[in-house]
C-alpha cells in the first residue's frame, strides 16, 4: 500500500476546511458532484502520485473490472479490463498498490457458492493475471496493512482475514473485529447490512469507511459510516459525526447514497467517493459521486455540507456511444450479459459479425453498454442469416427487458421479457431504431435506413430496476443476435435527446 499523508498535513487544512463546512451548512446546499454517470456501483479508488485509478462492481457483465484513470477527479478515461472472462457475478472490488504491485480483490457470487478472488499486475495498464480464488467467504473485501507489514482483508459484517505476504492466499480464519454503528431506529432502511469496508491509515489511526442500511430499497436506506482504531484488530471507535454520507430525505436528487472510499489529492484535499441512485431514474443503476470532506479538530472526517431538501435533476453526462465497428471497444464500452466468448463476435470492414446464440434476448447474452442519459435514441443496421433473430434491446436481466427485432421474417416487440410477433414482414437486411424518452420506449423499423415506420406498440420501463427485479443491475441498451447463423451489424448510432 502506498504511503499516506501524515495527520500533520491534514491539520494545516483544518481551519480553512472548517470554515468551508460552516458556510456550506449555513447555505444548506449539497456539495456532491456526479463523477461518472450511469451504472458504476461500489467504487474503489486509489491514487498513485498524481494519477487516480478507480474500479467498480461488474456483476453479470463481461469483460469485467474496467479500470478508469484520471489526473483531476473530473475527466476519466477507461483504461483496461482486469477480468477477461466470466467467473460469476462480480461484487464490490478493492483496487490497491502494495510494494510496487497492483491488486484487485473482489467477491464472486454464483448460484452454488460465494468466494473472493484476486487479480494482480505490475502496472494498472496490465497485463492482469488470471483470477486467483482465495477461498474466503463473505463479500466486499477491503485491503489493509498493519504496522508490521502484515496484510489483511476486512470483509462484510466486520470480519478480518489475514493474508499471505504475496496477497494471494489466506493464512487463517476470519475474525470478528467490528460491529458497526447503530443508526436511529426510525430511519427507513433495508436492514443493517454492514458491508463495503475501505481502510485508510492517517497518522496513528486506521480509518474504516463502511456501508450500512442496504444499497437499495427506501431512498433513505444507504449510508457511509466511519470508525477508527490504532490496530486493525480493534477496538474500533465509531465517529461522533456519523453518518459521513446519507440521503436524509426522499426529495433529494440522489437516493441511497453509500459505499464510500476516502481519497486525497497531492495538495492534501480530502474527498469521499460513493454511489447513489438518481431519483426517478433507478433504471440507470448506481452512479458514482464525489464530495469533499473536512477533518474535524478531534480528527474525524466529516461532511462539508448538509443535504438540501430538493435539487434539480440536471443531467451531467455527455458521451458518444456511436460505433462504426472500425475499432474494438469490447470491455471499454461494450460488455456481454452473462457468459462471454471472445470468439463469438469479430470486426470485419467496419462491421460487427456476431454468432447467433439462444432463442431470444433472454439467453442470447446481448452486447450492452452503460449510459447515464435520461433520454436517448439508438439505431443499427442488421443483416441476418435466414434462421437468425436480431435487434435492439434494453436489457435488465433474462426475465426483464424490452426491444425490437426481426424474428423469422416478422417484426417482434419484446416487453417485460415477453415477445409479441406482429403481422409485419421484414427483409433480412433491416434497420431498427429504439427511443427511450424518460422511460417511455418506442420502436421504429426501416427497409433502407431512410424511410422509417413507427411500430404500433410502445412501453414504459420506469420499473425495470433492482427494487422491482433484484440483482443490483441496470437497464442497459445494446444489440442481440439469437437463433442460428450469423448477424452482421453496421453503423450503430446513439444520440442524447
Q: Would you give the distance in Å from CA 335 to the centre of its chain?
A: 13
CATH 2.115.10.20 residue ranges for the chain: 7-303
Mean pLDDT on 207-219 = 98
The per-residue pLDDT for 238 is 99
Report the percentage of the chain scoring pLDDT > 90: 89
pLDDT at 355 over 60: yes
CATH 2.60.120.200 residue ranges for the chain: 335-496
**Cα separations (Å) of 79 from 52, 90, 126, 155, 450?**
12, 19, 9, 27, 37
pLDDT (tens digit, 9 = 90+) per residue, 14-49?
A: 333 343 334 333 323 457 899 999 999 999 999 999
pLDDT (tens digit, 9 = 90+) per residue, 54-64?
A: 999 999 999 99
Beta bridge partners of 104: 95, 119
Q: How far apart are CA 453 and CA 194, in angstroms?
A: 52
Domain 335-496 listed as CATH 3.40.50.700: no
Domain 7-303 listed as CATH 3.40.50.2300: no
**Cα separations (Å) of 77 from 4, 55, 85, 279?**
25, 12, 22, 26
pLDDT (tens digit, 9 = 90+) per residue, 174-184?
A: 999 999 999 99
The per-residue pLDDT for 305 is 66
pLDDT at 12 over 60: no
Mean pLDDT on 242-246 = 98
The per-residue pLDDT for 295 is 94
Closest by CA position to 370, among listed 73, 71, 44, 76: 76
**Three-state DSSP string of the chain:** CCCCCCHHHHHCCHHHHHHHHHHHHHHCCCCCEEEECCCCCCCEEEEECCEEEEECCCECEECEEEEEEECCCCCCEEEEEEECCCCCEECCCEEEEECCEEEEEEEEECCCCEEEEEEEECCCCCCCCCCEECCCCCCCCEEEECCCCCEEEEEHHHEEEEECCCCCCECCCCEECCCCCCCCCCCCCCCCCCEEEEEEEECCEEEEEEEECCCCCCCCCCEEEEEEECCCCCCCEECCCCCCEECCCCCCCEEEEEEEEEEECCCCCEEEEEEEEECCEHHHCCEEEEEEEEECCCCCEEECCCCCCCCCCCCCCCCCCCECCCCCCECCCEEEECCCCCCCEEECCCCEEEECCCCCHHHCCCEECCCCCCEEEEEEEEEECCCEEEEEEEEEECCEEEEEEEECCEEEEEECCEEEEEEEECCCEEEEEEEEECCEEEEEEECCCCCCEECCCCEECCCCCHHHHCCCCCCEEEEEEEECCEEEEEEEEEEEC
Name the grid cell of 90.
462480480
pLDDT (tens digit, 9 = 90+) per residue, 251-308?
A: 999 999 999 999 999 999 999 999 999 999 999 999 999 999 999 999 999 998 654 4
The per-residue pLDDT for 319 is 52
- Summary mean pLDDT of the chain: 92
pLDDT at 375 over 70: yes
- Least confident range from 310-324, 336-350, 458-472, 475-489: namely 310-324
The per-residue pLDDT for 26 is 35
pLDDT at 2 over 50: no
The per-residue pLDDT for 175 is 98
The per-residue pLDDT for 304 is 85
Residue 8 pLDDT level (bands cut at 50, 70, 90): very low
Mean pLDDT on 323-332 = 96
pLDDT at 349 over 50: yes
Evaluate whether 125 touches 79 at the Cβ level (below 8 Å): yes
pLDDT (tens digit, 9 = 90+) per residue, 441-467?
A: 999 999 999 999 999 999 999 999 999
Amino acid at each position: 500500500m502506498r504511503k499516506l499523508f501524515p495527520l500533520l498535513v491534514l491539520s494545516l487544512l483544518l481551519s480553512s476546511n472548517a470554515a468551508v463546512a460552516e458556510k456550506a451548512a449555513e447555505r444548506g446546499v449539497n456539495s456532491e458532484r456526479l463523477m461518472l454517470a450511469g451504472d458504476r456501483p461500489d467504487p474503489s479508488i486509489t491514487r498513485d502520485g498524481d494519477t487516480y485509478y478507480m474500479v467498480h462492481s461488474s456483476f453479470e457483465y463481461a469483460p469485467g473490472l474496467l479500470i478508469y484513470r484520471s489526473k483531476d477527479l473530473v475527466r476519466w478515461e477507461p483504461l483496461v479490463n482486469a477480468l477477461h472472462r466470466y467467473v460469476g457475478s462480480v461484487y464490490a472490488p478493492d483496487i490497491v498498490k502494495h510494494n510496487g504491485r497492483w491488486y484487485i480483490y473482489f467477491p464472486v457470487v454464483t448460484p452454488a457458492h460465494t468466494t473472493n478472488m484476486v487479480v494482480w499486475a505490475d502496472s494498472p495498464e496490465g497485463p492482469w493475471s488470471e483470477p486467483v480464488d482465495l477461498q474466503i467467504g463473505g463479500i466486499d473485501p477491503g485491503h489493509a496493512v498493519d504496522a508490521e507489514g502484515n496484510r489483511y482483508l476486512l470483509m462484510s459484517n466486520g470480519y478480518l482475514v489475514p493474508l499471505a505476504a504475496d496477497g494471494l492466499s489466506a493464512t487463517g480464519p476470519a475474525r470478528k473485529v467490528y460491529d458497526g454503528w447503530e443508526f436511529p431506529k426510525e430511519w427507513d432502511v433495508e436492514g443493517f447490512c454492514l458491508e463495503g469496508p475501505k481502510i485508510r491509515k492517517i497518522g496513528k489511526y486506521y480509518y474504516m469507511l463502511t456501508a450500512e442500511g442496504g444499497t437499495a430499497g427506501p431512498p433513505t436506506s444507504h449510508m457511509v459510516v466511519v470508525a477508527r482504531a490504532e490496530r486493525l484488530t480493534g477496538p474500533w471507535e465509531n465517529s461522533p459525526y456519523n453518518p459521513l454520507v446519507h440521503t436524509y430525505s426522499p426529495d433529494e436528487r440522489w437516493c441511497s447514497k453509500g459505499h464510500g472510499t476516502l481519497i486525497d489529492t497531492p495538495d492534501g484535499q480530502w474527498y469521499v467517493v460513493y454511489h447513489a441512485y438518481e431519483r426517478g431514474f433507478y433504471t440507470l443503476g448506481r452512479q458514482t459521486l464525489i464530495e469533499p470532506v473536512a477533518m474535524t479538530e478531534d480528527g474525524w472526517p466529516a461532511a462539508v455540507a448538509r443535504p438540501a431538501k430538493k435539487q434539480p435533476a440536471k443531467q451531467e453526462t455527455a458521451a458518444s456511444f456511436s460505433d462504426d465497428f472500425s475499432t474494438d471497444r469490447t470491455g471499454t464500452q461494450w460488455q456481454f450479459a452473462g457468459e462471454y466468448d471472445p470468439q463469438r463476435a469479430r470486426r470485419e470492414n467496419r462491421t460487427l459479425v456476431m454468432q447467433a446464440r439462444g432463442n431470444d434476448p433472454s439467453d442470447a447474452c446481448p452486447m450492452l453498454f452503460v449510459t447515464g442519459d435520461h433520454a436517448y435514441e439508438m439505431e443499427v443496421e442488421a443483416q441476418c442469416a435466414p434462421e437468425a433473430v436480431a435487434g435492439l434491446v434494453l436489457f435488465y436481466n433474462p426475465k426483464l427487458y424490452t426491444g425490437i427485432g426481426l424474428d423469422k421474417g416478422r417484426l417482434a416487440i419484446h416487453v417485460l421479457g415477453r415477445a409479441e410477433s406482429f403481422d409485419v414482414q421484414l427483409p433480412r437486411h433491416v434497420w431498427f431504431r429504439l427511443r427511450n424518452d424518460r422511460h417511455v420506449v418506442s420502436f421504429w423499423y426501416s427497409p433502407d435506413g431512410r424511410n422509417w415506420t413507427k411500430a404500433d406498440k410502445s412501453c414504459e420501463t420506469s420499473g425495470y430496476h433492482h427494487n422491482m427485479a433484484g440483482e443490483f443491475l441496470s437497464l442497459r441498451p445494446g444489440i442481440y443476435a439469437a437463433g442460428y447463423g450469423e448477424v452482421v451489424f453496421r453503423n450503430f448510432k446513439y444520440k442524447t435527446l
